[in-house]
Each structure stands twice: as structure tokens, then as C-alpha cells.
């Protein structure tokens, strides 16, 4: 980590709003409470500096965009695995192979604590702490919005100072921000392969639209429901009156705005954190290429990178304890269809700025019709049928 502090400037002044990842690193480090994290005009978290700032420059040391957080122990040649939990229930509640909940259980069984992203009562996403595995569902599953870290890094450090084992899971920029603080042997970090985060406004307006359509308040949201399989995951929203919305991600308008990158944060298009060496001790994602045959299943397979000795040791223990199945693979196999494992850069769509502008004033329905391309459901089903026939013919050859 670089130690150079330039007095007189804050981190956000040095990097500018376009490069800011909204990671809350500076916010956790300021000794003068001079930073407020608020939404900007397009609903992306940004630090706003108030009159308490004495220009000490400390926040620069905890901004992962400025600091080189490439810890010496993070390998330029990680060990690649495909893996999954042996417990079907855990696989089904998770987004890929359920490796995260198994790692969480490992830490909680040692009286440790786990920090991950969970909903508050209004479906705002924030990093929270759990102490017991019975709370695991609060934080399992990917949520495709940016999580509010709050004073989360300070809370992690406090637990570590008290001698606790801690697992922290988050987007790579969040793990990189945590890495700018003191390192502890008792801290285990997981960074997620990260497609990026969209404007919070997209999500808020989408939920409003769904509540209007169903005339009921939302009760539960699951972005990665696997009822029709992991590859065909669907958005599932439960309402208070008992009704349920389920839609294949390739037909759901939220996913059809998010996955083609219509309104990601500026910093997500050319992300400096989604590359090898990765910031976490372990990296987790979906094995979207061809997973090792022995563990292949349509209930979800994780791509796993053991980035250092600590990560490798914990994964091997879980395997030896028969909690997970894990097969070694290589860089080329692991990165197929998954550009974000090592440096994928996304083009900014031409319509992005107009989309973000209109999002400020218009409702979801009108923006959807203008900007979001949703395939015809009949054609979609027909295409899927043809593909599945071709696939089974190929596997019988
Ligand atoms: C915004 C986002 C984008 C992603 N993009 C990709 C991608 O392009 N390619 C890929 O292979 N994998 C991607 N993933 C990772 C993947 O979806 C799974 O999270 C990962 O494989 C772990 O799954 P699991 O089955 O082990 O456990 P799960 O239980 O599914 O673990 C999910 C973990 O992520 C944490 N989490 C959920 N949402 C957020 C959030 N918004 N911010 C921070 N932490 C969060 C949860 O606390 C939990 O610990 C993304 C995840 C997120 C959150
Ligand atoms: S007081 Fe120091 S740490 Fe806080 S915002 Fe100002 S320069 Fe940054
Ligand atoms: S620390 Fe994070 S939130 Fe603060 S300026 Fe740097 S990137 Fe932005
Ligand atoms: S794409 Fe990069 S900058 Fe954007 S949320 Fe993910 S890790 Fe952070």
C-alpha cells in the first residue's frame, strides 16, 4: 500500500466522481466526520465533504482507487476450482454453488462473525453482521444493486480487535477498500466476480412498478430463483397478498436493463478491481463455462479462485470435512463466458446517459417501453426448445 499523503486534498477530489466506486473506504477512515455518503443525481453513492474537513488527507490512504491494494500475498496465479456445496438446500438458496454459505458456516462454527449484504425492511441493501447460521438467509443470494457499507469496515476491525474470526464478503471494490485497513490473520475475505452495479433508481422504480401491477406490497425478492434451473434462473418476487411474480431473467425487464449495462455506475464499465490478482483471499462467481463433469449440475456450480495460502487452506478444510465438492480447473476453462474474472471491460451503451436522465423523472413503464428490449416470449420459448434438443442430440453423439 502506498503511504503518500498529499495534504490539502480529499480522496474524491483526487480521483473525481467518474472513478469513484462508492465503496465507503474514505467514509470509514475520516477522523473528523467530514464525509457524508449520499446519492448523487442518478442515485449512485458518492462522498460529500462537509465543513469539518481539515484537509488532513487521511482518506486518500483508504481509497482503493488511489491506493495499490495489491497485497503481496494475493497470487498472480490463483488456483482455480469448480465447486458446490454438498447440501442441496444450501445450493438452492444461493446464486451459484452455495460455497459462500459453507464458508460462512465454517467461520460461525468457530464463534466468528460474518458480514454480507442483506435487505432492510424497505428493501434497501446494506452490509450487516450475522452471528449464527440460523440467520444465514438474511445475507445469502446475489442482489443486483450496490450495498451500503455504512461504517462496516470499522465494525469488521472492531470484531477483529476483540479477537473474533471474521468473514467479509462483498464486491471487489469493497474488499479492496477493507484491505487498506490493518490486516489480520483472523480475517477471511471473499470478493465476488462483479458485473457492476446499476443506479438505485432503476431498482426503486422497478419495485414501484411491480407493486402497482400486483396491487400489493412486496414481501420477498430473490434475484436467482432456481426453480427452472441455475442456468435459467428467474426473478422471483413475493407479495404480501400471497401472489408471486416469476420471470426468466432473459425476459424480466430489470435484468434486461442491468445485464446489457444500460445504467451501471461509471466506475463499473472499466473496473480496476475485477482482475487478477483479485482483492479477496477467495473469489466466488458462477461457473458459466463448462464446469468439471463430476460436479456439473443445474442446481448451480461456483467458480472459485483460491488467491492465497489462507484461502486455499480454508477451502481444503471444507473439502476434507465433506461440506463441499471441489475440482481443480485452469484459467482458460474458468474464465469462459465470464469476462469479469480477469479484467473485462464493458462498452458504455449509447443510450446510457439519456436512460439515466429519463430515469430521474419518468416511471418504469415508460422507460421500459423506450429503452429495454425484451424478447417475444413465444419466440424465446421456441428458441430454448430448439437449443435443448440440439444439446441433447450433441450429448448422445
Ligand atoms: C452485483 C453482483 C454482480 C455479480 N456479477 C457476477 C458476474 O458477472 N459473474 C459471476 O460469475 N458472478 C457474479 N456475481 C457473483 C455470483 O452471483 C454469486 O454471488 C457468487 O457466485 C457466490 O454465490 P454462492 O452460491 O457461493 O453464494 P450466495 O449465497 O449466492 O452468495 C452471495 C453473496 O454475495 C453477497 N452479496 C449479495 N449481493 C451483494 C451486493 N450487491 N454487494 C455485495 N455483496 C453482495 C451476499 O451477502 C452473499 O454473501 C455477482 C454478484 C453480485 C452481487
Ligand atoms: S478531514 Fe481528512 S480524512 Fe476527512 S475528508 Fe477531510 S481530508 Fe479526508
Ligand atoms: S474511497 Fe471509495 S467512496 Fe471514497 S472516493 Fe475512493 S472510491 Fe469513492
Ligand atoms: S464493477 Fe467494480 S467498481 Fe463496480 S461495483 Fe463491481 S467491483 Fe465495484
Whose CA is closest to atom 6 on ligand 2?
53
Given a cut of 80, is residue 173 above it in pLDDT? yes
Q: What would the 3-class secondary structure string for 159-174 be?
A: HHHCCCCEEEEECHHH
* CA of residue 162 to ligand 2 center, whole Å: 27
For residues 105 and 85, what is the distance between their CA atoms, to the nearest angstrom?
11
- What cell was used for 51? 465543513
pLDDT in tens, 102-151: 999 999 999 999 999 999 999 999 999 999 999 999 999 999 999 999 99
Dihedral in degrees, nearest 10, Cα atoms 47, 53, 56, 61: -10
Mean pLDDT value across residues 219-239: 97
Whose CA is closest to atom 8 on ligand 4?
173
Q: What is the pLDDT of residue 5?
A: 60
Whats the size of the chain, residue-wise?
A: 397
Q: Which of the listed residues 39, 65, 67 should we mutate to test ligand 3's pocket, taking the one with most ligand atoms within 8 A of CB? A: 65
Of 223, 237, 252, 213, nearest in space to 380 by CA: 252
* CA of residue 252 to ligand 2 center, whole Å: 43
Does the C-beta of 171 come closer than 6 Å to ligand 1? Answer: yes
Task: Please give the domain boundaries of the chain with CATH numbers for all domains.
Answer: 11-62 (3.30.70), 200-262+362-396 (no CATH)
Whose CA is closest to atom 5 on ligand 3?
12
Of 170, 189, 100, 160, nearest in space to 128 by CA: 170
Confidence of residue 2 (pLDDT cuts 50, 70, 90): very low
Average pLDDT, the chain: 95
Does the C-beta of 100 come closer than 6 Å to ligand 1? Answer: yes
Q: What would the 3-class secondary structure string for 148-212 be?
A: ECCCHHHHHHHHHHCCCCEEEEECHHHHHHHHCCCCCCCEEEEEECCCCCECHHHHHHHHHHHHH
* CA of residue 117 to ligand 1 center, whole Å: 9
Model confidence, pTM: 0.96
Q: Please report how many Cα atoms fall inside a 13 Å half-sphere around the Cα of residue 305, on the Cβ side.
A: 31
* CA of residue 179 to ligand 4 center, whole Å: 15
Amino acid at each position: 500500500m502506498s503511504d503518500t499523503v498529499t495534504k490539502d486534498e480529499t480522496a474524491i477530489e483526487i480521483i473525481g466522481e467518474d472513478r469513484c466506486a462508492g465503496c465507503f473506504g474514505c467514509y470509514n477512515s475520516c477522523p473528523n466526520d467530514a464525509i457524508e455518503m449520499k446519492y448523487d443525481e442518478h442515485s449512485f453513492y458518492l462522498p460529500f465533504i462537509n465543513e469539518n474537513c481539515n484537509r488532513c488527507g487521511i482518506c486518500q490512504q483508504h481509497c482503493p482507487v488511489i491506493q495499490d491494494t495489491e497485497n503481496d500475498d494475493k497470487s498472480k496465479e490463483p488456483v482455480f476450482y469448480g465447486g458446490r456445496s454438498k447440501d442441496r438446500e444450501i445450493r438452492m438458496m444461493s446464486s451459484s454453488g452455495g460455497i459462500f454459505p459453507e464458508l460462512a458456516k465454517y467461520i460461525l462454527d468457530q464463534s466468528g462473525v460474518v458480514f454480507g449484504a442483506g435487505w432492510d425492511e424497505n428493501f434497501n441493501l446494506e452490509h450487516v453482521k450475522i452471528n449464527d447460521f440460523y440467520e444465514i438467509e438474511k445475507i445469502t443470494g446475489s442482489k443486483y444493486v450496490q450495498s451500503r457499507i455504512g461504517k462496516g469496515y470499522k465494525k469488521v476491525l472492531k470484531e477483529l480487535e476483540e479477537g473474533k474470526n471474521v468473514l467479509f464478503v462483498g464486491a471487489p471494490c469493497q474488499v479492496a477498500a477493507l484491505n487498506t485497513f490493518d490486516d489480520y490473520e483472523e480475517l477471511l475475505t471473499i470478493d465476488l466476480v462483479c458485473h457492476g452495479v446499476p443506479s438505485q433508481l432503476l431498482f426503486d422504480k422497478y419495485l414501484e412498478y411491480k407493486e402497482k401491477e400486483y396491487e400489493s406490497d412486496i414481501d420477498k425478492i430473490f434475484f436467482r430463483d432456481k426453480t427452472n434451473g441455475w442456468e435459467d434462473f428467474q426473478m422471483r418476487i413475493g407479495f404480501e397478498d400471497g401472489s408471486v411474480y416469476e420471470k426468466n431473467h432473459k425476459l424480466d425487464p430489470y435484468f434486461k436493463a442491468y445485464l446489457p449495462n444500460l445504467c451501471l455506475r461509471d466506475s463499473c464499465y472499466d473496473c480496476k478491481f475485477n482482475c487478477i490478482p483479485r482483492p479477496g483471499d477467495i473469489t466466488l462467481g458462477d461457473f458459466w463455462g463448462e464446469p468439471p463433469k463430476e460436479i456439473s449440475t443445474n442446481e448451480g456450480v461456483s467458480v472459485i479462485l483460491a488467491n492465497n495460502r489462507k484461502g486455499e487452506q480454508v477451502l481444503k478444510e471444507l473439502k476434507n470435512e465433506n461440506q463441499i465438492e471441489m475440482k481443480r480447473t485452469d484459467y482458460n476453462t474458468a474464465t469462459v463466458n465470464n469476462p469479469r474474472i480477469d479484467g473485462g471491460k464493458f462498452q458504455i451503451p449509447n443510450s446510457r446517459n439519456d436512460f439515466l436522465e429519463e430515469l430521474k423523472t419518468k416511471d418504469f413503464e415508460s422507460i421500459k417501453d423506450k429503452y429495454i428490449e425484451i424478447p417475444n416470449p413465444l419466440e424465446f420459448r421456441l428458441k430454448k426448445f430448439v437449443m435443448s434438443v440440439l444439446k441433447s442430440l450433441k450429448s448422445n453423439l
